[in-house]
């Protein structure tokens, strides 16, 4: 294996410009990887929707933006919905630009959860890799992932094993976890703060269960995140006593981590097979134990009894009981877990290793 720096095109999500929050956890993952891969000496082109900012000012990173209409996000579509590409869509333009840049790079790395780049992969000479950002939410996408896995599964990586279990794969999956710039998260050791919840406010995130827990304990729940679904947010709020939820809005990372770090515990209540769960790790990075359903990525990330408590999915009464045990968790141990398992540097190293393996000829010999 060679140590020559790689030249890569990173293709952002077609759901919202970087910094809007509409891309969810992908935005932070991408920012982290841009910084981590640049630090390792690689040359990067970042292709993103117009209005995006580069996560880092670095001579090794060039931002290219293209205009166009957002792609509808798959997690809010019916499972059997067909692939839709709106008129003037940004998605094909991202790939037009990425393929234009491809002639003198080693690989293209896709962050969008979309059919088009998966379908393109076996049809073009440039090496396209995909960091799959969600579990199974659509039949069209399930087939596209399975088809690509049959062609060459080394082009696919996942955030957690539980996420990858959703797909029909032919080999054991490449699981790269995720990574965070830990210099941006401050450990706070206070143990008498409020309860917190963070994420896109949308049904798959299960805010209603966290609200029930707070109501049962007679506490306020501080909620950070983009309200994607207003009607849903109002339904959740009206199901609990007035004042149970304190809406804190969508905050940039610096503020989010400061406020999150003041919490006694983060409640995490996914109703879907969460691929990873960035907010879980961001809370842990600040020393905040996480009390969660044992489902999807959070169920794999949280070390029961060491960095938080896991309870049976959808059992909000068990979640309330576990929340009373939050102070039994050592906040320093939460931070230490993130330093060991979810640093920006670690993610960049794992992604680089995955891409280098995928660039080898199929029989494993170096040509």
* Residues near ligand UDP, by CB under 6 A: 21, 24-25, 28, 198-200, 224-225, 250-251, 253, 256, 276-279, 282
Q: How far is the CB of 262 from ligand UDP (least distance, A)?
A: 14
| Angle at the Cα of 353 from the Cα atoms of 41 and 128, rounded to 5 degrees | 90
Q: How far is the CB of 220 from ligand UDP (least distance, A)?
A: 17
Q: How far is the CB of 178 from ligand UDP (least distance, A)?
A: 8
Nearer to ligand UDP among residue 287 and residue 358 (C-beta): 287
Nearer to ligand UDP among residue 188 and residue 278 (C-beta): 278
Q: How far is the CB of 84 from ligand UDP (least distance, A)?
A: 20
Q: How far is the CB of 25 from ligand UDP (least distance, A)?
A: 3
CB 261 within 8 A of CB 182: no
218: which DSSP letter?
T
Q: Helix crossing, 25-39 with 344-359: angle to 10°?
A: 80
Nearer to ligand UDP among residue 115 and residue 224 (C-beta): 224
Q: How far is the CB of 126 from ligand UDP (least distance, A)?
A: 27
Nearer to ligand UDP among residue 276 and residue 337 (C-beta): 276
| Angle at the Cα of 73 from the Cα atoms of 68 and 75, rounded to 5 degrees | 175
363: which DSSP letter?
T
Give the pair of three-digit tokens for residue 145: 């992932």
Nearer to ligand UDP among residue 173 and residue 298 (C-beta): 298
Whose CA is closest to 197, among 323, 62, 29, 361?
A: 323
Q: How far is the CB of 308 from ligand UDP (least distance, A)?
A: 15
Q: How far is the CB of 295 from ligand UDP (least distance, A)?
A: 13
Find how far residue 234's CA is from the centre of its chain. 26
Only one residue has tokens 């009206």, namely 238
Q: Is 244 exposed, middle or buried (0-12, 13-18, 19+ CB in 10 A)?
A: buried
Nearer to ligand UDP among residue 24 and residue 358 (C-beta): 24
Nearer to ligand UDP among residue 6 and residue 198 (C-beta): 198
Rg value, the chain, Cα = 20
Q: Is 182 exposed, middle or buried (0-12, 13-18, 19+ CB in 10 A)?
A: middle
Give strand pairing partners of 89. Answer: 69
Q: How far is the CB of 361 from ligand UDP (least distance, A)?
A: 35
Q: How far is the CB of 125 from ligand UDP (least distance, A)?
A: 32
Nearer to ligand UDP among residue 36 and residue 358 (C-beta): 36
Nearer to ligand UDP among residue 99 and residue 256 (C-beta): 256
Give the pair of three-digit tokens for residue 153: 């599964």
Nearer to ligand UDP among residue 156 and residue 279 (C-beta): 279
E-assigned strands of 132-200?
156-158, 174-175, 195-198
Q: How many Å apart are CA 232 and CA 101, to the nearest integer?
A: 42
Q: Spell out the alpha helix ranges (H) of the chain.
A: 25-39, 90-100, 115-120, 139-152, 161-164, 207-217, 230-238, 253-260, 278-285, 296-301, 316-323, 331-341, 344-359
């Amino acid at each position: 294996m060679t140590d020559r720096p790689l030249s890569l095109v990173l293709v952002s999500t077609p759901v919202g410009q970087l910094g809007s929050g509409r891309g969810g956890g992908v935005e932070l993952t991408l920012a982290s990887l841009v910084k981590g891969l640049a630090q390792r000496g690689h040359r990067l082109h970042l292709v993103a929707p117009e209005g995006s900012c580069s996560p880092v000012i670095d001579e090794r990173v060039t931002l290219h933006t293209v205009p166009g209409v957002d792609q509808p996000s798959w997690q809010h579509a019916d499972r059997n919905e067909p692939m839709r590409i709106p008129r003037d869509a940004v998605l094909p333009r991202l790939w037009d630009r990425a393929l234009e840049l491809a002639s003198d790079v080693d690989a293209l790395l896709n962050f969008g959860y979309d059919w088009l780049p998966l379908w393109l992969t076996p049809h073009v000479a440039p090496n396209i890799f995909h960091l799959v950002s969600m579990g199974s939410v659509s039949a069209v996408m399930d087939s596209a992932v399975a088809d690509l896995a049959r062609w060459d599964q080394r082009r696919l990586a996942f955030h957690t094993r539980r996420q990858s279990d959703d797909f029909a794969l032919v080999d054991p999956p490449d699981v790269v976890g995720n990574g965070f710039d830990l210099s941006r998260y401050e450990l706070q050791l206070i143990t008498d703060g409020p309860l917190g919840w963070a994420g896109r406010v949308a049904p798959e995130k299960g805010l209603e269960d966290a609200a029930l827990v707070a109501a049962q304990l007679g506490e306020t729940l501080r909620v950070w995140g983009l309200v994607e679904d207003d009607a849903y947010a109002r339904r959740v709020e009206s199901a609990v006593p007035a004042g149970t939820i304190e809406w804190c809005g969508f905050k940039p990372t610096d503020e989010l981590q400061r406020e999150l770090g003041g919490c006694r515990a983060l409640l995490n209540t996914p109703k879907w097979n969460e691929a990873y769960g960035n907010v879980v790790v961001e809370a842990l990075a600040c020393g905040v134990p996480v009390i969660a359903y044992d489902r999807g990525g959070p169920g794999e990330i949280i070390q029961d009894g060491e960095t938080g408590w896991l309870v049976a999915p959808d059992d909000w009464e068990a979640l309330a009981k576990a929340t009373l045990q939050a102070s039994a968790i050592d906040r320093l141990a939460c931070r230490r877990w993130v330093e060991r398992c979810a640093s920006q540097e670690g993610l960049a190293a794992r992604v680089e290793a995955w891409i280098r393996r995928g660039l080898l000829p199929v029989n494993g010999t170096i040509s």
